[in-house]
Chain A
Amino acid sequence: MAKVLVVADIKQGVLKGSTAELLSKAGSIGAQTAVVAIGSGVNALLSDLINAGSDTQYIADDPNLAMFSAGPYAACVVDAARQSNADLIWFGFSESGKALAPRVAAQLDCACATEITDITLAGGQIEITRPAIANKVRQRIKVNSAQLVAVVRAGAFEAREDITGSENVVTLSPPAPDLKAVIKELLSDAGGDIDLADADIVVSVGRGAKDQAGVTLVKALADDLNAGFGASRALVDGGFMAHNKQVGQTGKIVAPTLYIAVGISGAIQHLAGMNGSKAILAINKDPEAPIFNVADYGIVGDLFEVVPVLREEIKKVRA
């Protein structure tokens, strides 16, 4: 029986939905499930970890792990992988996952794959699918090593409702701090915002909004919809939006029910971050903008005119 170890995705003390999604997938391929939770105060998440569908919980709870540090975090994952004899070690899509997976794979001397969208186990042969070349192609990959470390792309797997786990806690000993890569400071992202990865609706703003006034106009639409508020790289580079709001290949990968692109041209690096969305609405004044090639609904028009009307009309249908 295959054994899956899922690395819990914990942000600001909260267990993210991807953990249950990955554990659900593990269950559906008939694997034994374990989870590893790393951080400070993560013992408090035990019931969440069990409810997410894990049968064993490896926990590294230490004040020294309060801030992400790739060396010690990777050491915890490797420790849990060895103790659990996991064949498959999965990370949910996150910056820490992307930083850790290659380290863990190098230490375990096994294959590593990022952004996987599917995995099959037939007769002990692990096979995966993942996009490459900015999502233009997909690769089917055969894994030759006994183990695989993988980062699962956002939205690839769904959490099952009927999932349950059982309590079986293994406490990991705290790893040594990385004295060669010392964290000096963390400039925290503004709190209180809706996490783009969790949002059911994401509204993103692009260069078409021009300046802060345009951004504020589009932000009001996001607020009305209780949506995550993202941006193209053009606005992040322009200093109008924070780095953590960038959607795309180097930003966040999102797969909401509805993605609204406002004043965004639709460069492939942007599309690579949002083309898994269920429905896409694009607003752009250029009828030839490439974003319209992927949008389910397109409004050709000036966003400064369209967005206020859009807000009014949405209020009407939601009333």
Chain B
Amino acid sequence: MKILTTIKKVVDVELNINVENGAIVENGLQYVMNAWDENAVEAAVQLKEKNGAETTLVSIGGGEDNTKIIRKGYAMGIENGIQIDDPALANADSFVFARVLQKVYEKGDYDLIITGKQAQDTDNGQTGIILAEYLGLPCASNVIAIEVVDDRHVRVSRLGDAGTEILELALPAVVTVSDSINEPRLPVMRGIMMAKKKKIDVMDLAGLGTTIDAVGGGALKSEIIEFMVSEKRSAGQKFEGDAAEITAQVVALLAGEAKVL
């Protein structure tokens, strides 16, 4: 089985994010692998360990930070890495990324594509599902377990509205994974050392055999015109002291002042 995992470089959401003149201030930001993509990498590596598979990751993006997340994927156990780096993709959205990933898929001969359920910078939750539509492949999103049935099928569990849905997908297929699927491993020193020496297959859109217009980057379906800082809730009243006393005080406020009881 050949598994393709998608990983995206995103801003570290734990750090402060500032906005000026409608744009995010770059200064002070740090970049990491999207958390849900760490789950995707872990899922791929676990399938490799359990059932035997050839694992490849692909990341669309550039710069040193992008190299860093690819090396992290290697250190976690992925064997091959493809990087699509093209300045024309600077404003790409989920549809454009899905078209680029479609090209990557078509050049390999993969049985299973694993994406994160959502990227922490966009919070879109779209790319994997759109990719499956473009490829005409079966897809399950918000997946919390993947099991190989035979070389043509996987059984997946996904969290739906009515409960946990268990589906059998005919391969090739696309799954998008939730953080509930696994606990991503921390790379060990030996893995980190090996990852440093591994080759990354870097190419631009031309190298992939396509153009920015062919992947829809010339005519975006929507555009972000402005970022704004979310209004923060402000801290209210905090009570410390005798538990019985302060609790009684707070209940009186909830009933009287806030009128929510």
Contact = CB atoms under 8 A, between A and B. Distances in A.
A318 B252 CA distance: 11
Contact of B238 (A103, A110, A298): A298
A180 B165 contact: no
B166 interface: yes
Interface in A79-109: 94-96, 98-99, 101-103, 105-107
Nearest to A197: B161
B206 interface: no
Contact of A139 (B159, B179, B221, B226): B226
A184 B138 contact: no
B124 interface: yes
A243 B180 contact: yes
Contact of B261 (A127, A133, A317): A317
Contacts of B95: 106, 112
A111 B222 contact: yes
Contact of B121 (A113, A133, A138): A133
Residue from the set A110, A137, A143, A185 with the largest chain B CB neighbour count within 10 Å: A137
Contacts of B222: 111, 113, 141-145, 148
Given A127-B225, A250-B180, A294-B233, 8 more contacts: A70-B140, A105-B126, A106-B134, A132-B121, A140-B226, A185-B166, A296-B233, A298-B236
Contacts of B160: 68, 95-96, 99, 186
A133 B138 contact: no
A10 B232 CA distance: 33
Interface string B132-150: 1110011111101000000
A186 B164 contact: yes
Interface stretch (A30-38, A48-56, A160-168, A279-287): A279-287
A135 B231 CA distance: 9
Contacts of B193: none
Interface in B179-226: 179-180, 219-226
Contact of A180 (B173, B224, B230, B239): B173
B260 interface: yes
A143 B168 CA distance: 36
Nearest to B238: A298
A62 interface: no
A158 interface: no
A184 B167 contact: yes
A75 to B, nearest CB: 12
A186 B165 contact: yes
Contacts of B140: 70, 181
A297 B253 contact: yes
Ranked nearest first, the 4 interchain pairs of A and B with the lowest CB-CB distance are A296-B236, A106-B133, A180-B138, A298-B238
Contacts of B252: 317
Interface of A: 11-12, 67-68, 70-71, 94-96, 98-99, 101-103, 105-107, 110-115, 127, 131-145, 148, 178-189, 201, 233, 236-237, 243-244, 249-250, 257-258, 268, 275, 278-281, 287, 292-302, 305-306, 309-310, 313-314, 316-318
A92 to B, nearest CB: 11
A98 B178 contact: no
Contact of A133 (B11, B129, B134, B223): B11
Interface of B: 11, 13-14, 17, 19, 24, 94-95, 98, 117, 120-126, 129-130, 132-134, 137-142, 144, 155, 159-170, 173, 178-180, 219-230, 232-233, 235-240, 243-244, 246-248, 250-255, 258, 260-261
A68 B233 contact: no
Given A279-B260, A281-B250, A68 B243 contact: no
B123 A132 contact: yes
Contacts of B240: 287, 300-301
15 contacts: A68-B165, A98-B141, A102-B130, A111-B222, A115-B123, A131-B123, A142-B223, A144-B219, A181-B167, A181-B173, A185-B166, A187-B164, A295-B236, A299-B246, A300-B238
Given A106-B134, A275-B233, A188 B223 contact: no
Contact of A314 (B122, B238, B261): B261
Contact of A70 (B139, B223, B255): B139
